[in-house]
Structure 1
Amino acid sequence: MRLPLRFLFCPVLAFALAASAGAASTVRLPPGECSGSGTDRIFGDGFEGVAIPHDPSNGSGGPFPGNVTRTIAVAGFGNRSYYLHLPPDYTPTRSWPLLLALRGSTSPAATATAAQQVRSDWSAWADSGGFIVLAPVGTSTQGGWGASGDGAEISAALDDAFASYNVERSRIYLWGFSAGAHFGHALALNNTDFFAAYGVSAGSLEQYACTDNGSFPPTCAALLSGAQPKIPVDIHLGTSDPLASPPYTAAGDPARFQNQGWVSGQTLFYTSFAGGHTYTAAHLGQIWNHLCGFALGP
């Protein structure tokens, strides 16, 4: 049985894709699983063997390696394109982690270009780390995220990727920048039984996922306390990013997570850097190094 990806506060954005039924758990992987080798399937914790989650989609038929553009049908929106990057040693004979990369807000005419840019920005890390990058475009006519069709589009893109490539579904990660990070907080925290871990660059919980003032449900405390398991999260925020200063509250997000059970250095990774509303290639490497060590277990 499978459960749909969902938004607790916005049913119109419910997803058709699924994570395993029942209570999910976060599994810490051995270092070799982050190298892209994909060879270790059992590791010892010093006293007993711990099975590494393994849930291959067994898809095949998609072209590889390198950059791929695929077309999907999204109900109510017609045919839509999304963008993939397959590492040079990709083979369908084994399953591969996948990173869902959400672009920042841009002009409506530039959303496809922005999606391709985040794919490009992640490609070198995908090649060295051995994972697939999936960058959707989004349906918003304003160039952001959160439109009613975004859920259906992302769901259809993931379904297509699972059918066309051999994806390790216990290792689906998410990353977003700016508006993609705001949206990514909501997507990941409402689907902790689908994503293994996630990261945000220049994002804020209160910009979309929740609020502390009670004007828009749910409260951040309610959203975070209800998230099980405590999905590992990486937060990168520039010290001169407008979101870090009042009236914006992104700088308070690490404390919000810690107050609801996340542990710094274990399930919460916070980097405050000298800079503005941006990210760098080095940041993406830091984020991947934090995310890749986790899988979603039963």
Structure 2
Amino acid sequence: MIRRRAVVGLAACSALLAALAACDVADRRPAALRSRPREVSGRLGPGEVNLGSPTGRETVLYVPGSVAPDAPTPLIVSLHGAGSDARGGGLFTQPLADQLGALILAPSSQGRVWDRNFGTDLALVDASLAEAFRRARVDPARIAIAGFSAGASYALALGLANGGLFSRVMAFSPGSVPDGGRQGKPRVFITHGVDDELLPIDRASRRIVPALRNDGYDVAYNEFDGGHTVPPDELARAADWLGW
């Protein structure tokens, strides 16, 4: 059941963020996010919390049992693939979060895929971040964004556009890099199956990785034997790469 207070809170955040975006004429990044961590004193118990959303689809905040009480905590924004949602696909990073003691924030796209015009879905991600920062004490130096498939492409867009927020970007089988603008130089992790038939590697990561490296990004890249999936070994590799 979606909690009414959470839904109202996210709706209010969305309205505020939209107003801020309208006022910020100097920022030309269409995928710019405004929310930032702040000091909070509350504790979150382990498990999943449905933050709700203005669209009625779930936004899940996952708290592993390994999170240290009262300590600044890492956060991973985790984006699902096409046709999925927060609970069905956004929590694919849960093994990684359990290992590292990191929170997961998993929003749901409004439609089948993430909005590449950076409209409703961008506002939802921003409002969800604001709510997560209100509830949890997040370490500003350890915030990452991750995604699978279409979610990986969106994670690359948001991550590269918000290097001041995300220090790490993880893309599992991305198809492209939508242009949301660029800010900073976050480190990037990309992995892709050589037998991927949905997003063939030759047309996707084998083009994306050289382009990012040419633009000066530090990219860790791995190809694995398999198709359009996220093997446990690749999540473990990502955890080692994060170094949290």
TM-score category, normalised to shorter length: 0.7 to 0.9
2:194 to 239, 242, 249: 239
Partner of 2:87, secondary structure, is helix
Q: Report how far residue 272 of structure 1 moved.
A: 0.7
* Preserved CA contact (<8 Å) 1:99 1:174: yes
Q: Report how far residue 132 of structure 1 moved.
A: 0.5
1:257 matched residue in structure 2: 212
1:16 to 18, 31, 34: 34
2:156 to 185, 210, 219: 185
- TM value normalised by structure 1: 0.65
Matches within 5 A, 1:139-288: 139-140=110-111, 143-146=112-115, 148-205=119-176, 208-210=177-179, 227-228=183-184, 230-242=185-197, 243-245=199-201, 248-262=203-217, 267-288=218-239
Distance 2:187 2:32 in 1: 22
Q: Report how far residue 258 of structure 1 moved.
A: 2.0
Distance 2:122 2:94 in 1: 24
Residue 237 of structure 1 aligns with an amino acid whose one-letter code is: H
Q: 1:119 to 1:88 in 2, by over 3 A?
A: farther
Distance 1:251 1:241 in 2: 12
Larger radius of gyration: 1
Structure with greater proportional strand content: 1
Partner of 1:288, secondary structure, is helix
Gaps of 5+ in 1: 19-55, 211-217, 294-298
Q: Report how far residue 120 of structure 1 moved.
A: 4.2
What RMSD in Å do the two structures reach over aligned CA positions?
2.7
Residue 168 of structure 1 aligns with an amino acid whose one-letter code is: D
Q: Report how far residue 191 of structure 1 moved.
A: 0.8
Q: Report how far residue 127 of structure 1 moved.
A: 2.0
Distance 1:95 1:245 in 2: 37
**Structure 1, residues 186-234: CA drift from partner, whole Å, max 9, x if none?**
11111111101111011033xx514xxxxxxx8xxxx6xx542x21101
Gaps of 5+ in 2: 1-19
Tell me how many residue pairs correspond in the alignment: 218
Q: Report how far residue 172 of structure 1 moved.
A: 0.8
Question: Which 4+ stretches in 1 moved above 4 angstroms?
Answer: 60-63
Distance 1:133 1:95 in 2: 14
Structure with greater proportional helix content: 2
Q: Report how far residue 288 of structure 1 moved.
A: 2.1
Q: Report how far residue 10 of structure 1 moved.
A: 6.9
- 2:87 is the counterpart of 1:116: yes
1:70 to 51, 54, 60: 51
* Preserved CA contact (<8 Å) 2:63 2:102: yes
Q: Percent identity?
A: 28
* Preserved CA contact (<8 Å) 2:193 2:201: no
Q: Report how far residue 9 of structure 1 moved.
A: 7.2
